[in-house]
Amino acid sequence: MRVAHKASETAMLSAIDRAKEAGDTLGGTFEIKAFGLPVGLGSYVQWHRRIEGALAQALLSIPAMKAVEVGSGFAQADVPGSAVHDAIWWDKDQGFTRLSNRAGGIEGGITTGMPLVVRVAMKPLSTLLSPLGSFDIDSKEPFLAQVERSDVTVRICVDCVGLRFPQPYWPKWMQPLGEKWRSIPPLAKIS
């Protein structure tokens, strides 16, 4: 496993070792950030063109993914609007911008020009070395599930997530830009 933050990598490896000793599995979260997206991708009018919906569909189609958060999405449910919404600011060099990015670069179904920030939660693997209880379908007698080979966790491959990042939707998101969208370079900076 390679992680940019060395202390986090050490903690992750330690958690994996503990789970392996216990015959258990782990899930986790990962974050995608996309920089340089133009303002206005998606739609605030048509539900099927809202960019966060398409992102969620694409990311949740990866096996074992169970939740998608845009910006500080889940935390926003517990605080008032004044602590959630990103104020608009005018800067001579940047033009209109935001003072924060709690919306994760998407408001009302369209991109704001701020970095797109999406987090995805993955459930622990189903195959356990310490089997769960089950029941025989015919006899209704309890028994322990079969022990199979199991990894402790899955390292999410950035290339896999990059492929799911919904570029097939780009033409319909880019319609407001006319044919100019074809000259926008591919997302060069996804971290």
Tens of pLDDT, residue by residue over 61-119, are 888 899 999 999 999 999 999 999 999 999 899 888 889 999 999 999 999 989 999 99
Distance CA 131, CA 143 (A): 10
Residues 157-182 have pLDDT tens digits of 554 555 455 555 555 555 555 555 55
Question: Is there a contact between 70 and 106 (Cβ–Cβ < 8 Å)?
Answer: yes
The residue ranking higher by pLDDT, 173 or 150, is 150
**Number of Cβ atoms within 10 Å of the Cβ of 95:** 10
Up-side HSE of residue 99: CA atoms within 13 Å toward CB? 8
Question: Is there a contact between 35 and 189 (Cβ–Cβ < 8 Å)?
Answer: yes
Share above pLDDT 90 across residues of the chain, in percent, rounded to a whole number: 35
Using the CB atoms, write b or e for 59-82: b if 16+ within 10 Å.
beebeebeebbbbbbeebeeeeee
Question: Is there a contact between 3 and 13 (Cβ–Cβ < 8 Å)?
Answer: no
When pLDDT is averaged across residues 132-158 and rounded to a whole number, the result is 83
Distance CA 147, CA 88 (A): 55
Look at residue 7 and tell me whether its pLDDT is greater than 70: yes
| pTM score above 0.85 | no
